[in-house]
Amino acid sequence: MTESINNENESSKPLIVQSDKTLLLEVSHELAQDCRIDISGFAELEKSPEHMHTYRITPLGLWNARAAGIKTEFVIEALTKWSKYSIPSSVLIDITETMERYGKLKLIADPNHGLILNSDDRAVMTEIRNSKSTQLLLGQPIDDLNVVVIPQERGRLKQTLIKLGWPAEDIAGYVDGDRFDINLRDEAEFTLRTYQIQAVDSFQSPGNGVIVMPCGSGKTLVGLHCMANNSMKTLILVTNTVSARQWKHEILKHTTLKDEDVGEYSGEVKLIRPVTIATYQILIKRIKGNYAHLDLMTDQEWGLIIYDEVHLLPAPVFRMAADIQSRRRLGLTATLIREDGKESDVFSLIGPKRYDAPWRDIEAQGWIAPAECTEVRVTLKDEERMRYALSEQEERYRTGSTALSKIGVVESLCNKSTANGELTLVIGQYIDQIETISQRLNAPLITGKTPTREREVIFENFRQGKIPVLVVSKVANFSIDLPEASVAIQVSGTFGSRQEEAQRLGRILRPKADGRQAHFYTIVSRDTIDQEYASRRQRFLAEQGYSYNIVDAETIIFEDIKRAYESE
């Protein structure tokens, strides 16, 4: 009798906590969604097969959680609440000790010594001062618990400390940039939603950090409020020129700034104004071996620097960010995932995660469109299978993902969506593939070579419904506002990029005027590495609560043929 009661209690919980700090979540369990919401604030999804998802607890994840206001007690209570079995004591001890490391070191401003590194633990300070990696970053010790920091090494010191396992809490404050009044227009539609207010408030007091919100949920409006709250000269860094002009449009629409107050600094225009919007591309452009345009970051007295799509921040801009730690810094993104593993540099140089709005929560409130994700598996023809089998290892993904067998499925899906009056994006990685698809669909194509003015015209015609289907390369992954697009068809991607998958879904998450659901299709070649990479890409969205229906391509093509037959 006792045994059966224990078994019943164990089966009533969906989580298994393992000694290596991995978490196994039983997806089909009725409480899995509630558990996922609790653990997603401090654990990262690693694998997402159909029945059991694997999360991992990492030091950076715990430090981000701590910086976002999640306490050690919450983490332990969440694991205890949802775990089927007793949690290994080593895991609980390690979580507690790891989270306590954040804040053991603090960067503070001292009226007599300037910038200093402070600790309330003598052993920790001794360890840091004796590390070879900090020797050139620190000045003279003040006492056993305080040491002078060379001001221009503030950023590099924080990078070094996190590598040593002692992330510093930076509360030294900031120099005020040049004052410049930025006032918001009194518009009913500009009233911030509750989660946007929370995001703004989470940034304002520390003056640095990253706000994570779903695509289409209003990150730009959060940025504008932060600009108005600070009312200083502001530099905004964006992914491309189209994004720069969208930011300018929103600034002029929602603030009292005039056109002459806002400058664009890109490959096409180089105007520095009190509010300047610059592209990452121009900042990392070399002239005679030097990053000449990076001086833009330090030559002006900026009071606030906004990093849009901060997860894409290029390495040279990181180096520059290390030099301007005395400026307020706001990162905006839909996901903190970086495929290059530099999440700790974002933490150190832009700031820790201050606010994270779960995608499904925002969807439930009606602020982003509900989305259905479908993986469509295509069986390759015999000659395609043979071509794939004979291809070199480094070419296998391209060979599998660009199979011509995918095109018929794309045509069928586009026929269905246009018949339903849905604006459709077809997105791909390889130019020759999307050129072929563009020709077959008789649809416009936008790539990196498409001039900015032409892109803007095509995007505007698409927004107005004059173009029902648009084929785009990876240039449309980020910061493109296409509110009425409700269908996205992904034919190929950047290997297993989770951030790209999230951004591509984000292209269609703006709420639709008629309340319709968004549909995200990924076309995958069965039994190839394309299928393996698709599974990897889906991990972030699975962490946000999205699931992929898997269907056979033949079913979709058959339905298309059936519709055509019935319409005759």
Specify whether 550 is located in the same domain as 450: yes
**pLDDT score of 472:** 93
CA distance 494 to 533: 9
CA distance 40 to 27: 14
CA distance 548 to 546: 7
Cβ atoms of 296 and 265 closer than 8 Å: yes
Specify whether 233 is located in the same domain as 200: yes
Q: Is residue 176 part of a domain?
A: no
Q: Is residue 225 part of a domain?
A: yes
Q: Is residue 522 part of a domain?
A: yes
Cβ atoms of 254 and 248 closer than 8 Å: no
List per-residue pLDDT tens for the chain, 568 residues long. 333 333 445 568 999 999 999 999 998 899 988 998 899 889 987 776 667 888 999 999 999 999 888 999 999 999 999 999 999 999 999 999 999 999 999 999 999 999 999 999 999 999 999 999 999 999 999 999 999 999 889 999 999 999 999 999 999 989 889 999 999 987 655 688 999 999 999 999 899 999 998 888 889 999 999 999 999 999 999 988 889 999 999 999 999 999 999 999 998 899 999 999 999 888 888 777 777 787 777 778 999 999 998 888 887 787 778 778 889 999 999 888 777 778 888 899 899 999 988 887 888 888 888 889 999 999 999 999 999 999 998 899 999 999 999 999 999 999 999 989 999 999 999 999 999 999 999 999 999 899 888 988 998 999 899 999 999 998 877 667 777 889 999 999 887 677 788 888 888 888 877 778 899 999 999 999 989 888 888 877 777 778 788 899 888 776 665 555 455 5
CATH of the domain at 303: 3.40.50.300
Specify whether 237 is located in the same domain as 332: yes
Q: Is residue 374 part of a domain?
A: yes
Q: Is residue 180 part of a domain?
A: no
**pLDDT score of 190:** 67
* Residue 347: C-alpha distances to residues 6, 75, 124, 128, 294 (Å): 43, 20, 21, 19, 21
- Torsion sign over Cα 34, 36, 37, 43: positive
Q: Which residues contact 354 (CB under 8 A, 6 or more apart)?
A: 67, 68, 199, 202, 203, 206, 209, 210, 211
Specify whether 389 is located in the same domain as 510: yes
**pLDDT score of 11:** 60
Specify whether 268 is located in the same domain as 394: no
Collapsing DSSP to helix, strand or coil, 304 comes out as strand
Specify whether 430 is located in the same domain as 531: yes
Specify whether 413 is located in the same domain as 482: yes
Specify whether 349 is located in the same domain as 242: yes
**pLDDT score of 561:** 57
| Domain region containing 262 | 188-362
Collapsing DSSP to helix, strand or coil, 512 comes out as coil
Burial 281-310 (b: 16+ CB within 10 A, else e): ebbeeeeeeebebbebbeebebbbbbbbbb
Specify whether 384 is located in the same domain as 408: yes
Specify whether 379 is located in the same domain as 279: no
Specify whether 6 is located in the same domain as 80: yes
Collapsing DSSP to helix, strand or coil, 213 comes out as coil
138-143 sheet: strands from edge to edge: 138-143, 146-149, 114-119, 105-110, 168-170
Specify whether 138 is located in the same domain as 232: no
3-state secondary structure labels for all residues of 333-383: ECCCCCCCCCHHHHHHHHCCEEEECCHHHHHHCCCCCCEEEEEEEECCCHH
**pLDDT score of 496:** 66
Q: Is residue 177 part of a domain?
A: no
Cβ atoms of 413 and 427 closer than 8 Å: no
The total domain count for the chain is 4
Q: Is residue 222 part of a domain?
A: yes
**pLDDT score of 60:** 93
* Residue 484: C-alpha distances to residues 82, 175, 474, 488, 508 (Å): 40, 42, 19, 11, 7
